[in-house]
């Protein structure tokens, strides 16, 4: 999982956008994201410093509203998480980040040493097996099932485990 930026496919196509740096080709754009993205390096500051982008206006949005803002044309570029459910289905184009300003936010289980001892080695093996299957695409599908399709998280998790021979 990582932070990133996305645009509508037509916008990417009409401006020749594949990377964050390609946004220099756009005369001016509106970048929407959580309010803290105005002052974060993993947001507007990094886009200016690392990519030299000074051709945008930042619009603060609550997390989750960026896709509605993109769809309605209120913004041109949105701050996203690469595991967002809305990224399924090709409605949005995620721009690559060759300079790595958005970093990575890997999903990792955190378990106390006491619990590991109490549960035995099979517990750690099970966690590792699940972690190995948690790709961005798998997380997008599960997030879509919960966020968009309103399925229960436990049912989605169980289906994921069964589909991957883990449950």
What are 57-82's pLDDT values in tens digits? 999 999 889 999 999 999 999 999 88
Say what the pLDDT of residue 24 is. Answer: 97
User: DSSP character for 36?
Assistant: G
Q: What angle do CA 33, 39, 41 make, to 5 degrees?
A: 90
Predicted confidence (pLDDT) at residue 19 exceeds the cutoff of 80: yes
The pLDDT of 40-47, averaged and rounded, is 95
The pLDDT of 92-119, averaged and rounded, is 89
Predicted confidence (pLDDT) at residue 140 exceeds the cutoff of 80: no
Predicted confidence (pLDDT) at residue 30 exceeds the cutoff of 90: yes
DSSP for 40-72 reads -TTTHHHHHHTT---SEEEEE--TT-HHHHHHH
The pLDDT of 25-35, averaged and rounded, is 97
| Contact by Cβ (8 Å): 32, 72 | no
User: Going by C-beta distance under 8 Å and a sequence separation of 6 or more, which residues neighbour residue 36?
Assistant: 43
Say what the pLDDT of residue 137 is. Answer: 83
CA separation for the pair 137, 76 (Å, rounded): 24
Return phi, psi of residue 115, to 5°.
Answer: -65, -40
pTM: 0.77
Say what the pLDDT of residue 154 is. Answer: 92
Nearest to 32 by CA among 47, 52, 50, 12: 47
Task: Quickly state the pLDDT bin for 48 (edges 50, 70, 90).
Answer: very high
Name the token pair of 122. 């099979």
Within 13 Å and on the Cβ side, how many CA atoms surround 80? 30
The pLDDT of 110-130, averaged and rounded, is 90
CA separation for the pair 139, 83 (Å, rounded): 6
């Amino acid at each position: 999982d990582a932070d990133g930026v996305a645009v509508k496919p037509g916008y990417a196509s009409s401006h020749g956008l594949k990377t964050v740096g390609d946004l220099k080709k756009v005369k001016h754009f509106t970048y929407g994201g959580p309010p803290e993205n105005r002052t974060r390096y993993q947001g507007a500051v990094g886009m200016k410093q690392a990519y030299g982008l000074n051709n945008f206006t930042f619009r603060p949005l609550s997390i989750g509203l960026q896709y509605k803002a993109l769809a309605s044309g209120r913004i041109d570029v949105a701050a996203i998480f690469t595991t967002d459910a809305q990224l399924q289905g090709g409605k949005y184009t995620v721009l690559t980040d060759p300079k790595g300003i958005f970093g990575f936010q890997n999903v990792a289980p955190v378990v106390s040493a006491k619990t590991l001892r109490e549960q035995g080695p099979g517990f750690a093996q099970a966690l590792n097996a699940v972690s190995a299957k948690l790709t961005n695409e798998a997380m997008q599908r599960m997030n879509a099932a919960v966020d968009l399709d309103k399925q229960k998280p436990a049912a989605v998790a169980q289906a994921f485990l069964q589909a991957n021979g883990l449950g």
